[in-house]
Copies of this chain bind each other. A is one copy, B any other.
Amino acid sequence: MIDSGATAFVLICTAMVMLMTPAVGLFYGGLVRRKNFISMIALAFIAFALVSIQWVVCGYSLAFGTDICGLIGGLDHIFLQGVGMEGDGIPDLLFMVFQMVFAGLALAIVTSGVAERIKISSFIVFGLLWTTLVYDPLAHWAWGGGWATQLGAIDFAGGTVVHISSGFSALALALIIGRRLGFGGHGMEPNNIPMVLLGGALLWFGWFGFNAGSALAADGLAVNAFVATNIAAATGALAWFALAWVRGRPGSVGIISGAIAGLVAITPAAGFVAPIAAIPIGACAGIVCYAALVFRIRRGLDESLDAWAIHGMGGIFGALATGIFAVAAIGGVNGLLYGNPGLLLIQAVDVTIAVGYSFGMTCLIAKVIDAVMGLRVTEEEEYVGLDIAQHGESARV
Contacts and interface: CB of A to CB of B under 8 A. Distances in A.
Nearest to A18: B205
Interface stretch (A130-138, A253-261, A334-342): A253-261
A297 interface: no
Contacts of A23: 201
B12 A49 contact: no
Contacts of A94: 223, 226-227
A251 B392 contact: yes
Contacts of A212: 11
Interface residues of A, number: 101
Nearest to A283: B53
A250 interface: yes
Contacts of A224: 85, 93
A238 interface: yes
A308 interface: no
Nearest to A217: B4
B11 A222 contact: yes
Interface in A216-274: 217-224, 226-227, 230-231, 233-235, 237-238, 241, 248-253, 255-256, 259
B253 A393 contact: yes
Nearest to A208: B15
Given A7-B218, A18-B208, A226-B97, A194 B41 contact: yes
Given A26-B194, A252-B393, 8 more contacts: A8-B9, A11-B226, A14-B208, A41-B194, A49-B255, A94-B226, A120-B250, A250-B390
Closest 10 CB pairs of A and B: A4-B5, A85-B220, A22-B201, A8-B9, A8-B218, A52-B234, A249-B392, A5-B5, A42-B252, A49-B234
